[in-house]
Structure 1
Amino acid sequence: MNLKITTLIENNNDINNLLFNEHGLSLYIETDGMKILFDTGQSGDFIKNTELLKIDLSKLDYIVLSHGHYDHTGGFRKLVDEDYTSYNLIVGKSFFNNKYKIVEKDNYKYIGNSFDKEYVNQNNIVVKYIKEDIFYITENIMIFSNFKKSNDFEQINKIFQIKQDENYVADNFSDEIVLVVKHEKGLVVIVGCSHVGIINILETIIERTGMSIYGIVGGTHLVEADEQRLKTTMNYFKEKNICILAMSHCTGKYAVEKIRHEFVDEFIYNNTGNIIEML
């Protein structure tokens, strides 16, 4: 089964500096007869990049939004407003939580979606809210949620909050979902930000499927990792013999450079415009 992943937008620019880039993530995935858009970046500029990359968004089968932060969902409204509505939308069960970030004591900044349930309904978009542990798009394409905690060092940053009425509570990212493609070589795990911890995510997937991880693509939120967590994470990648480490966005520059140095053959600089193909 062929798998092709094109990074439509990401924090870093493309090699020739011809595409738009921004703090955010959007991936275009072609596999198992499906065309899937995974996240929509921050502004909608990913749409301009699809035109430059000759990608036709009018033939999308699914849009998967990994979690309800603006840098992953901000471009969705622009996509809809440009009359791209022929797909099914997949989001986590608590995707429309009111998400905030503590910028200083008693100062909260809204970092959630630019649209709500009413907007989705008004535009007649078919939406699937993921509540189950595994949802099958096809036999070979799965959505995972409800990740188990398997360690003590992957802690969710308490600066991320949810507003409930007039109160703020720590966000446990129950809305976070992950796309997994079953390939002959193993599982390819496509992540948005991995707020719940990349090892927690991978361990949950391995436990539920009994299969090995071949590759990781996307954001791992190692931007927050201290040296010990980063070292433990890289040792885990080695133990699991993961062959593709195409990390970007919230992985952070320091972690990316450490992983690049440690995994010379496995590392892929997954910047804007990068294409990963597995035959």
Structure 2
Amino acid sequence: MELKMVILNDNEPSPGLKNEWGWSLFIEFKGKKILFDADTSAEIIKYNSKKLNIDLDSVDFAFLSHYHMDHYGGYGYFAGKKSFKVYTPDDDKILREFGLLPIEVKGFKEIEDGVFSTGAITGFGLKEHAMVIRLDYLNILIVGCSHPGIDNIAKIVYENLGEIYFTIGGFHEPSLKALDKLAEISKYVAPAHCSGNKAKEYVKKNYNSKYIETKTGSKIILPF
């Protein structure tokens, strides 16, 4: 079994693709196609998905890490699709205004076959949840901005499912101590989006064998 993911948009650009401040991942797992966050605007993910030969209309369900524009803005692409499921950390009118079907997740639970939510965790005054995909016995942690702390999120996953194989997403300019804690329980680490150059450079220098570089358009197949 394998998991495929493509970064539709990150803060790091790639030639031939459009780019802006935001975060969105397209994931294929167990025959399902999943969208994790949707960037800031529908235009960017629509353009990049075509360039990357991805059919956004084939998405089976989506996951919104938290209610910030650079993560939910692109869900406007799916406007009017009333049966389009988006798992969320809180009840909100935004996705309903798009005409979508938000599903609030309460507590750590399996939301689809092999796909888990950490449940809402509070940080910086807002609720956020992270996704975990169980690839055989390997735990893949995908985060949005990690407002509650990437180390705190990883700890919750570790306590519920065990060691983490791969962590990817925005770490919200974490402390070096938080990165050390993450590296203790995650075999591979891919700081992206709002992680900041300091975090990327620190992981690359101090945990080089764990560091995975990413940018808009990156294609990742797991396990490595």
Same fold (TM over 0.5): yes
Largest Rg, 1 or 2: 1
Q: Find the aligned partners of 2:180 and 2:202 in 1 and give their Cα distance.
A: 12
State the partner residue of 2:16: 18
Residue type at the aligned position of 1:91? T
Residue type at the aligned position of 1:136? I
Residue type at the aligned position of 2:202? K
State the partner residue of 1:137: 112
Q: Find the aligned partners of 1:203 and 1:74 in 2 and give their Cα distance.
A: 29
Q: 1:127 to 1:238 in 2, by over 3 A?
A: closer
State the partner residue of 2:34: 36
Q: Shift of residue 250 of structure 1?
A: 0.7
Q: TM-score, normalised by structure 1?
A: 0.74
Q: Quick one: which of 118, 139, 145 aligns to 1:193? A: 145
Q: Quick one: which of 130, 133, 136 aligns to 1:181? A: 133
Q: Indicate the percent of aligned positions where both proteins have the same amino acid.
A: 30
State the partner residue of 2:188: 244
Q: After the TM superposition, which residues 143-182 of structure 1 pair with which residues of structure 2 at under 5 Å, given as runs?
A: 143-147=117-121, 156-157=123-124, 171=125, 173-174=126-127, 176-182=128-134
Q: Shift of residue 85 of structure 1?
A: 6.2
Q: Which moved more, 1:35-44 or 1:86-95?
A: 86-95
How many pairs are equivalent? 222
Quick check: 2:165–2:188 contact (8 Å CA) kept in 1?
A: yes
State the partner residue of 2:46: 47
Q: What's the secondary structure of 1:55's corresponding residue? A: coil
Q: What's the secondary structure of 1:243's corresponding residue? A: strand
Q: What's the secondary structure of 2:194's corresponding residue? A: helix
Task: Indicate whether 1:220 and 2:171 are aligned.
Answer: yes
Q: What's the secondary structure of 1:67's corresponding residue? A: coil
Q: Find the aligned partners of 1:13 and 1:234 in 2 and give their Cα distance.
A: 24
Q: What's the secondary structure of 1:74's corresponding residue? A: helix
CA deviations 1:112-163 (Å, max 9, x no partner) are: xxx353x24xx3x33311123214211x111121448xxxxxxx45xxxxxx
Q: Find the aligned partners of 1:25 and 1:213 in 2 and give their Cα distance.
A: 21
Q: 1:22 to 1:132 in 2, by over 3 A?
A: same
Q: Find the aligned partners of 1:234 and 1:93 in 2 and give their Cα distance.
A: 27
State the partner residue of 1:62: 61
Q: Shift of residue 76 of structure 1?
A: 1.2
Q: Find the aligned partners of 2:13 and 2:183 in 1 and give their Cα distance.
A: 29
Q: 1:80 to 1:233 in 2, by over 3 A?
A: same
Q: Shift of residue 94 of structure 1?
A: 4.0
Structure 1 unmatched ranges of 5 or more: 97-114, 149-155, 158-170
Quick check: 1:7–1:26 contact (8 Å CA) kept in 2?
A: yes
Residue type at the aligned position of 1:277? I
Q: Shift of residue 266 of structure 1?
A: 1.6
Structure 2 unmatched ranges of 5 or more: none
Superposition RMSD in Å: 2.0
Residue type at the aligned position of 2:5? I
Q: TM-score, normalised by structure 2?
A: 0.91
CA deviations 1:231-259 (Å, max 9, x no partner) are: x223223432x222111111011211111
Q: Quick one: which of 155, 175, 180 aligns to 1:235? A: 180
Task: Indicate whether 1:3 and 2:9 are aligned.
Answer: no
Residue type at the aligned position of 2:7? T
State the partner residue of 2:208: 264
Quick check: 1:35–1:59 contact (8 Å CA) kept in 2?
A: yes
